[in-house]
């Protein structure tokens, strides 16, 4: 079946829905999502969305800006980060006006709490900047945006999985997608396509990410010849539930929670004397691994899967139930404890990709080291790299990113499609997609997915984790290359057309393998330590050689790795201490 | 520990009737039912169909009937529903919704009912560029309802939908109407009345409380339905006086 829309949005999380709301005001727009929109992983964001409203104490976008670039270890593009923090304020008010039920201050304003790396007056002390709705802020953002899409009659294609892009030279003319309920392959011709497919934490064994976070957009575009930016920067959130990876929001520490080792020591005193437990995530994750490797973990056996305690017992039942009810629920369900009575066992969990599809300030996808863009191809949200987060994202800034840059991309698309024409698409644009599906379904291949998935996740976790070395990353690159080859022999047993979820999982695995490979290659290539990319063999930041973004092509033999200078026009890099 | 999964299967493409298939597997007491389902799908039968995403009870994908009760597979630990004497876990699709394949059901009617109550803030008054003021006391009134993840467990558990009136819009739709009706910023009660104040709107609910018992988010669903009924009655009384 063939469809024609001026704008196609792929992905229905915060960025996709915001863009759809904007674009659909004037352009004929459709949203394609492999999930029903309300299942998107934006809904799992907990602690808050950062904006310098100053509702409880003095705050300024300029301070938020400084925190963001310092948090990003000076790799953030500073003009992009400036837009982020300035537009954050209106974006939060806009969300409230659309109905988002923020928690409230005594005088009825949006309530704000402390969060990691967010400070007043350039690092003096933590500031209340995270606007929150209990500990389900992302859930409320997702719900509010979806509700607005209903109100504005946005067209949805739920449970459609995108298989291919129609990129002709430098122009994108649409996508090919499979309708999961029927197995039918659809052609979507369009003037503009936005990818907002979210993260890819599922390349790692322990992750806070959903099963759905398989990097579909970045992988699809990488295979179409689009470079990926800064793939070496992947954030490990310090507080995932031990053994499961389920996120425990930084908001627990924002409300006063303390990390402790087996001796009960508040170990962050050693690593970040000013901000302590509210230091940025990369530093705290390293501190936890350091404690564990010194034998200070709770078991004390120095094994990498040891853990520490997040102590919230002094916060009080009342505040926990009021401001952190979901966290209390997770602890009850999965750990059988009440966080008001017992400390929470936590360990770092793979959480957020700073890197991804390179874009400019209008969300247009960049195609080379000169910053030239594709025509009609956009990306926003976690799958994109603008880069506002640099080498390490601050807590709450992911939600800011997806509303600010989701909206900007949507606005640009609306203007662009007014002037643009539909490009021509080939006679059988879905040939490649059909071939791929058929080779998986009807091939006589017998290799199973399970072993490949576990091996990828184990190796990425062990060798491209919080601390990295050349030797281990080289091994990871080789393993990923081998697994990509093995994937060619993967066959699936479900030969049906309707709801072939085994087919979807195989396609997702293919995407994960390409992303894991690019992550490992990019990580090995960057010979310095910066933000979340921490190398024991190159332990220092190297501004002379590495104040730049890496661009990596999947077809590396042909294109190699190239670079774009980071924009440090407003604040020159300084040592990063907290 | 060893468990026996009894999973209700249906593949309409092949035809035939639904049947139960048994899988004997090893599982840890702390594993989620979803983990065990994933084990079956990855290692024993790739064609087993079910929805999943966040795996920690916030996205609403994997509501199903587990040992006769609507639950989220990712929020149910094996140890909660088994013991030494009873290690059989029966898994079936949600009820009152058309089965698409195995544990997947059509959510079309469920979401149509959700849309019918206009689940968005209705307030056309301009703002001054900042937030609308709402006191913590006003905010807490509808707090419970904002927890809804639209998993449809309540809809499946509702005896009214099952036995009497399949056209009842169902508990989740009413909860999401209440979400706005009781929000001090909203002005849309009247616009929502056609969907709520009719024979398939709020009135078919007869306080069975099944929805409240199964809600994985702990929402007092029945209470919210009753509050909504009361609000409609009060509103109509007031209008009669005028």
Query: What DSSP letter does each residue of A175-217 carry, written as one string?
Result: EEEEETTT--EEEEEEEEEEE-----GGGSSSBSS-TT-S-HH
Place of tokens 């007056």: A121
Per-residue pLDDT tens digits for A463-487:
999 999 999 999 999 999 999 999 9
Q: Residues B170, B175, B177, CA angle at the centre, nearest 5°?
A: 100
Per-residue pLDDT tens digits for B134-171:
999 999 999 999 999 999 999 999 999 999 999 999 99
Place of tokens 């139960």: B20
In a domain, A318, yes or no: yes
Taking CB atoms and an 8 Å cutoff, what residues of chain B touch A494?
A: 46-47
Cβ contact, residue pair A44, B58, below 8 Å: yes
Cα dihedral B238/B239/B240/B242 (nearest 10): 90
Residue B206 pLDDT: 97
Annotation marks residue A260 as catalytic = no
Residues B93 and B195 both lie in one domain: no
Cβ contact, residue pair A39, B60, below 8 Å: yes
DSSP state of A574: -
Residue A555 pLDDT: 85
| B209 phi-psi bin (left φ>0, alpha ψ -120 to 50, beta other) | left
Residues B166 and B92 both lie in one domain: no
Rounded Cα distance, B61 and B71, in Å = 11
Per-residue pLDDT tens digits for A393-404:
999 999 999 999
Rounded Cα distance, B22 and A394, in Å = 47
Number of independent structural domains in chain B: 2
B182 and chain A in contact, CB less than 8 A: no
Cβ contact, residue pair A333, B77, below 8 Å: yes
Mean pLDDT of chain A: 96
Residues B143 and B73 both lie in one domain: no
CB contacts < 8 Å between A and B, how many? 149
B45 and chain A in contact, CB less than 8 A: yes
B229 and chain A in contact, CB less than 8 A: no
CATH code for position B201: 1.10.1060.10
Residue B240 pLDDT: 86
CA A575 to chain centre: 26
Cβ contact, residue pair A143, B43, below 8 Å: no
In a domain, A128, yes or no: no
CA distance A180 to chain B (A): 11
Residues B95 and B48 both lie in one domain: yes
Cβ contact, residue pair B58, A97, below 8 Å: no
Low-confidence ranges of chain B (pLDDT < 70): none
Task: Single out the residue of A548, A524, A545, A508 nearest to residue A161, CA to CA.
Answer: A508
Cβ-proximal residues to A333 (8 Å cutoff; 6+ apart), any chain: B57, B75, B77
Place of tokens 């304003």: A109
B112 and chain A in contact, CB less than 8 A: no
Residue A560 pLDDT: 82
CATH code for position A331: 3.90.700.10
In a domain, A27, yes or no: no
In a domain, A462, yes or no: yes
Taking CB atoms and an 8 Å cutoff, what residues of chain A touch B115?
A: 150
Residue A391 pLDDT: 98
Residue B84 pLDDT: 82
Per-residue pLDDT tens digits for A370-422:
999 999 999 999 999 999 999 999 999 999 999 999 999 999 999 999 999 99
B15 and chain A in contact, CB less than 8 A: no
Place of tokens 């332990």: A539
Rounded Cα distance, A47 and A32, in Å = 28
Domain edge (last residue) among B38, B65, B100: B100
Per-residue pLDDT tens digits for A516-533:
999 999 999 999 999 999
Number of independent structural domains in chain A: 2
pLDDT at A444 over 90: no
Residue A536, judged by CB atoms within 10 A of its CB (0-12, 13-18, 19+), counts as exposed
Residue B116 pLDDT: 98
Per-residue pLDDT tens digits for A132-175:
999 999 999 999 999 999 999 999 999 999 999 999 999 999 99
Cβ contact, residue pair A43, B58, below 8 Å: yes
pLDDT above 90 covers what percent of chain A?
Answer: 97
Residue A573 pLDDT: 96
Domain edge (last residue) among B100, B116, B138: B100
In a domain, A203, yes or no: no
Pairing of β A344-353 and β A308-311: antiparallel
Cβ contact, residue pair A39, B75, below 8 Å: no
Pick from B47, B106, B185 the residue to mutate for testing the A interface (most A CBs within 10 Å).
B47
| Number of Cβ within a 10 Å radius of residue B206 | 11
Residues B117 and B174 both lie in one domain: yes
Residues B75 and B15 both lie in one domain: yes
CA distance A54 to chain B (A): 12
CATH code for position B95: 3.10.20.30
Helix, strand, coil shares of chain A as percentages rounded to 5?
Answer: 40, 20, 40
Taking CB atoms and an 8 Å cutoff, what residues of chain A touch B186?
A: 99
Total-model pTM: 0.97
Domain edge (last residue) among A321, A336, A351: A351
Which of the residues A128, A281, A535, A564 is marked catalytic? A281
Per-residue pLDDT tens digits for A42-64:
999 999 999 999 999 999 999 99
- pLDDT-derived band of residue A32, with 50, 70 and 90 as boundaries? very high
User: Averaged over A312-318, what is the pLDDT?
Assistant: 96
Task: Single out the residue of A80, A67, A45 nearest to residue A127, CA to CA.
Answer: A67
- Beta-ladder partners of A110: A104
Per-residue pLDDT tens digits for A241-264:
999 999 999 999 999 999 999 999
Residue A17 pLDDT: 98
In a domain, A457, yes or no: yes
Residues B76 and B113 both lie in one domain: no
What residue in A sits closest to B130 (Cα-Cα)?
A93
Q: Which two tokens stand for residue A265?
A: 């020591």
pLDDT above 90 covers what percent of chain B?
Answer: 95
SS3 B208: coil
Residue B86 pLDDT: 87
pLDDT at A446 over 90: no
Task: Single out the residue of A270, A230, A261 nearest to residue A354, CA to CA.
Answer: A230
What residue in A sits closest to B120 (Cα-Cα)?
A147
Q: Which domain holds residue A307?
A: 238-351
Residue A578 pLDDT: 93
Cβ contact, residue pair A210, B55, below 8 Å: yes
DSSP character string of A104-168: B-TTSSBPEEEEEEEEETTTTEEEEEEE-STT-HHHHHHHHHHHHHHHTT-EEEETEEEEEEEEE
pLDDT at A547 over 80: yes
Q: Which domain holds residue B74?
A: 2-100
pLDDT at A445 over 90: no
Residue A279: is the preceding peptide bond cis (ω within 30°)? no
The answer to whether the beta carbons of residues B122 and B180 sit under 8 Å apart is yes
Domain edge (last residue) among B37, B68, B100: B100
Rounded Cα distance, A508 and A517, in Å = 14
CATH code for position A521: 1.20.58.100
Residue A196 pLDDT: 98
Residue A448 pLDDT: 85
Per-residue pLDDT tens digits for A205-214:
999 999 999 9
Domain edge (last residue) among A351, A373, A400: A351
Task: Single out the residue of B148, B134, B144, B145 nearest to residue B63, CA to CA.
Answer: B148
Residues B86 and B121 both lie in one domain: no
In a domain, A482, yes or no: yes
């Amino acid at each position: 079946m063939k469809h024609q829309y001026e704008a196609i949005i792929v992905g229905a999380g915060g960025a996709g829905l915001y863009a759809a709301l904007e674009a659909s005001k004037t352009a004929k727009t459709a949203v394609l999502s492999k999930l029903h929109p309300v299942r998107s992983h934006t809904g799992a964001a907990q602690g808050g969305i950062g904006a310098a409203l100053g509702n409880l104490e003095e705050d300024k976008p300029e301070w938020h800006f400084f925190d963001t670039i310092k948090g990003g270890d000076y790799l953030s593009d500073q003009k992009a980060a400036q837009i982020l923090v300035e537009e954050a304020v209106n974006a939060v008010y806009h969300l409230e006006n659309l109905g988002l039920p923020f928690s409230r201050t005594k005088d009825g304003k949006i309530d704000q709490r402390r969060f990691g790396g967010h400070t007043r007056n350039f690092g003096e002390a933590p500031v209340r900047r995270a606007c929150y709705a209990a500990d389900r802020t992302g859930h409320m953002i997702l719900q509010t945006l979806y509700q607005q899409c209903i109100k504005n009659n946005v067209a949805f294609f739920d449970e459609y999985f995108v298989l291919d892009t129609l990129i002709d030279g430098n122009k994108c003319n649409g996508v090919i997608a499979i309708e999961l309920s029927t197995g039918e392959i659809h052609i979507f011709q369009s003037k503009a396509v936005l990818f907002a497919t979210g993260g890819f934490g599922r390349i790692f064994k322990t992750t806070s990410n959903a099963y759905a976070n398989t990097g579909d957009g970045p992988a699809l575009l990488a295979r179409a010849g689009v470079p990926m930016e800064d793939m070496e920067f992947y954030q490990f959130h310090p507080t995932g539930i031990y053994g499961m990876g389920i996120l425990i929001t930084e908001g627990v520490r924002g409300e006063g929670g303390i990390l402790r080792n087996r001796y009960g020591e508040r170990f962050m005193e050693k690593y970040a004397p000013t901000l302590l437990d509210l230091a940025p995530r990369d530093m705290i994750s390293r501190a936890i691994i350091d404690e564990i490797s010194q034998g200070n973990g709770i078991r004390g056996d120095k094994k990498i899967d040891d853990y520490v305690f997040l102590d919230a017992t002094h916060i009080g039942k009342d505040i926990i139930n009021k401001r952190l009810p979901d966290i209390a629920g997770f602890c009850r369900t999965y750990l059988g404890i009440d966080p008001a009575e017992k400390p929470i066992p936590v360990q770092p969990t793979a959480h957020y990709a700073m890197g991804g599809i390179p874009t400019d300030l209008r969300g247009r996808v960049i195609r080379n080291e000169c910053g030239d863009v594709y025509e009609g191809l956009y990306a926003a949200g976690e799958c994109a790299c603008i880069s506002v987060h640099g080498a390490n994202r601050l807590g709450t800034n992911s939600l800011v990113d997806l509303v600010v840059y989701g909206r900007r991309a949507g606005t640009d698309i609306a203007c662009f499609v007014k002037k643009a024409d539909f490009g021509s698409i080939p006679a059988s644009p879905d040939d490649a997609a059909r071939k791929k599906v058929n080779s998986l379904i009807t091939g006589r291949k017998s290799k199973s997915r399970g072993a490949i998935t576990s091996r990828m996740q184990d190796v990425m976790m062990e060798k491209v984790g919080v601390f990295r070395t050349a030797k281990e990353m080289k091994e990871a690159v080789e393993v990923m290359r081998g697994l990509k080859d093995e994937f060619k022999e993967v066959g699936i047993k479900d030969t049906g057309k309707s709801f072939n979820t085994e087919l979807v999982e195989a396609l997702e695995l293919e995407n994960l393998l390409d992303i894991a490979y690019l992550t490992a290659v990019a990580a090995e290539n960057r010979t310095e330590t910066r933000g979340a990319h921490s190398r024991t063999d190159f332990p220092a930041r190297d501004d002379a050689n590495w104040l730049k973004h890496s661009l990596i092509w999947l077809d590396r033999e042909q294109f190699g790795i190239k670079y774009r200078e980071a924009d440090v026009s407003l604040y020159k890099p300084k040592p990063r201490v907290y | 520990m060893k468990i026996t999964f009894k999973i209700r299967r249906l593949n309409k493409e092949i035809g035939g009737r639904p049947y139960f298939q048994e899988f004997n597997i090893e599982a840890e007491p702390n594993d989620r039912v979803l983990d065990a389902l994933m084990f079956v799908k990855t290692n024993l039968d790739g064609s087993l169909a079910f929805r999943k995403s966040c795996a920690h009870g916030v996205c609403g994908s994997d509501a199903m009937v587990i040992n006769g009760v609507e639950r989220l597979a990712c929020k149910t630990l094996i140890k909660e529903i088994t013991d030494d004497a009873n290690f059989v876990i029966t898994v079936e699709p949600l009820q009152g919704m058309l089965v698409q394949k195995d544990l997947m059901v059509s959510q079309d009617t469920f979401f149509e009912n959700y849309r019918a109550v206009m689940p968005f803030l209705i307030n056309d008054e301009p703002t001054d560029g900042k937030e609308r003021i709402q006191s913590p006391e006003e905010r807490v009134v509808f707090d419970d309802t904002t927890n809804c993840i639209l998993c449809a467990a309540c809809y499946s558990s509702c005896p009214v939908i099952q036995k009497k009136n399949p056209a009842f819009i169902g508990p989740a739709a009413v909860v999401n109407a209440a979400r706005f009706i009781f929000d001090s910023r909203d002005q849309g009660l009247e616009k929502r009345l056609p969907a709520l104040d009719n024979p398939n709107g709020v009135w078919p609910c007869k306080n069975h409380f099944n929805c409240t018992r199964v809600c994985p988010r702990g929402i007092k669903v029945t209470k919210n339905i009753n509050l909504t009924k009361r609000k409609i009655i009060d509103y109509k009384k007031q209008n009669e006086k005028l």
